[in-house]
Copies of this chain bind each other. A is one copy, B any other.
Amino acid sequence: MKNDVNRQFRLKSRPVGRIKTSDFDLVEARIPEPGAGEALVRNLYLSLDPTNRIWMSDMDQYMPPVKIGEVMRGGGIGVVVKSNSSAYQVGDHVSGLVGWQDYTIAGEKPEQRMGVIPKGLPVPLTAMMGACGMTGLTAYFGLLELGMPKPGETVVVSAAAGAVGSVVGQIAKIKGCRAVGIAGGPDKCKWLTDELGFDAAVDYKRAGWKEELARATPNGIDVNFENVGGEIMEAVMARMNLFSRMPLCGMISGYNTGEPMRGDFGPILMKRIAIRGFIVIDFMAKYAEGSRQLAEWVAQGKIKHRETIVDGLEQAPTAVNKLFDGENMGKLIVKLADPEKF
């Protein structure tokens, strides 16, 4: 790759169904020059997340959709290479919405703000996007603040082998709950039970998985951390207990369809379920507390995490589909540049 350009994926058309490389223009732009109060960030890692698919669409959503012609929005980690701001020092690692590009301008205004990652963390840098970063924090706040699990209760999480789900189940175990994951395929299920300590994992690709879910949750379900929607959500909701809680984190099965993400409201009424939709940014004021706790658990080996790292920005539009195809385990990351070089 050339080092004197800023490669950018700009959204060309809103994907219909599966994301295609042709939905983007890969443009070679000039590397931007930071103004007063700004810093230039060389992006190192791009975080691929289901919410990327939402931002590409014009469905009703929690941030403005990415406009056609705009650089694709995406979270990630970079290193400050030039700075005209006292908030950012050259060499600082920063995390935030870096976008699908090689370079980003960080600034002091809220919409340009990036978080400086503390030095000397007991975990690798990439963990700050995953288990100790946005996906870990999503699991942490969604489960603890909204799911309110009590020791002995049963927590079920869908997309359990994903970056969020895998942490949800491990926090549930730390909190003394029975943790049951739903995932696709024997490898993922084996990872959940044998390596991460889930009490049971249900493979939704197997015939009879609903009966397996019933066997795995003999006392019903007290907390459903919902990532998937659709048929899996309905099967879980049918087993939820009176006064159970359901943090609604995502409905990944519906993002590619363009249809309303419908589900049965009957159990909500009959079981008096408390459902709360949430986005991790709702808990921004408590990020530091959450990251510190997660890093401690990771360092202690109480939370294990796995990363799938894809090499090169140009892979982003194809790699992101792994999230929807059920191919991915753990945190899906695109490596843009070698952190050792900066």
CB–CB B265/A276 < 8 A: no
Query: CB of A229 within 8 A of chain B?
Result: yes
Query: CB of A261 within 8 A of chain B?
Result: yes
Chain B residues whose C-beta falls within 8 Å of the C-beta of A276 in the assembled complex = 268, 272-275
CB–CB A265/B261 < 8 A: yes
CB–CB A251/B269 < 8 A: yes
CA distance A262 to B249 in the complex (A): 19
Chain B residues whose C-beta falls within 8 Å of the C-beta of A242 in the assembled complex = 62
Taking the nearest CB of chain B, how far is it from the CB of A22, in angstroms? Answer: 27
Query: CB of A3 within 8 A of chain B?
Result: no
CA distance A282 to B273 in the complex (A): 12
Taking the nearest CB of chain B, how far is it from the CB of A284, in angstroms? Answer: 13
Interface residues as binary, A252-286 with B (CB distance below 8 Å gives 1, 0 otherwise): 00100000111111111111111111110010000
Chain B residues whose C-beta falls within 8 Å of the C-beta of A261 in the assembled complex = 264-266, 269
Restricting to A46-83, which residues have a CB under 8 Å from any CB of B? 59-62
CB–CB B262/A271 < 8 A: no
Contact of A274 among B260, B267, B270, B274 (CB under 8 A): B274
Chain B residues whose C-beta falls within 8 Å of the C-beta of A229 in the assembled complex = 265
Chain B residues whose C-beta falls within 8 Å of the C-beta of A265 in the assembled complex = 229, 233, 248, 251, 261-263
CA distance A254 to B268 in the complex (A): 14
Check A279/B275 contact, CB under 8 A, given A260-B264, A262-B264: no
Q: Which residue of B lies closest to A242 (CB)?
A: B62
Q: Which residue of B lies closest to A233 (CB)?
A: B265
CB–CB A270/B60 < 8 A: yes
Query: CB of A149 within 8 A of chain B?
Result: no
CA distance A282 to B260 in the complex (A): 32
- Most chain B beta-carbon contacts within 10 A, residue among A60, A61, A265: A265
CA distance A233 to B262 in the complex (A): 12
Check A278/B270 contact, CB under 8 A, given A262-B262, A263-B265, A265-B262: no
Interface residues as binary, A12-30 with B (CB distance below 8 Å gives 1, 0 otherwise): 0000000000000000000
Chain B residues whose C-beta falls within 8 Å of the C-beta of A250 in the assembled complex = 269
CA distance A249 to B251 in the complex (A): 24
Taking the nearest CB of chain B, how far is it from the CB of A87, in angstroms? Answer: 28
Interface residues as binary, A92-120 with B (CB distance below 8 Å gives 1, 0 otherwise): 00000000000000000000000000000
CB–CB A268/B272 < 8 A: no
Chain B residues whose C-beta falls within 8 Å of the C-beta of A274 in the assembled complex = 274-276
**Please, could you name 20 A-B residue pairs with CB atoms under 8 Å apart, sorted by A?**
A59-B266, A62-B242, A62-B271, A62-B272, A229-B265, A233-B265, A248-B265, A249-B269, A260-B264, A260-B266, A261-B264, A261-B269, A267-B277, A269-B277, A271-B277, A272-B276, A272-B277, A272-B278, A274-B274, A275-B276
- With contacts A272-B279, A272-B282 known, what are 6 further pairs, Cβ within 8 A? A254-B266, A261-B265, A262-B262, A263-B263, A273-B276, A274-B275
Hey, which bits of chain A sit against chain B, CB under 8 A?
A: 59-62, 229, 233-234, 238, 242, 248-251, 254, 260-279, 282
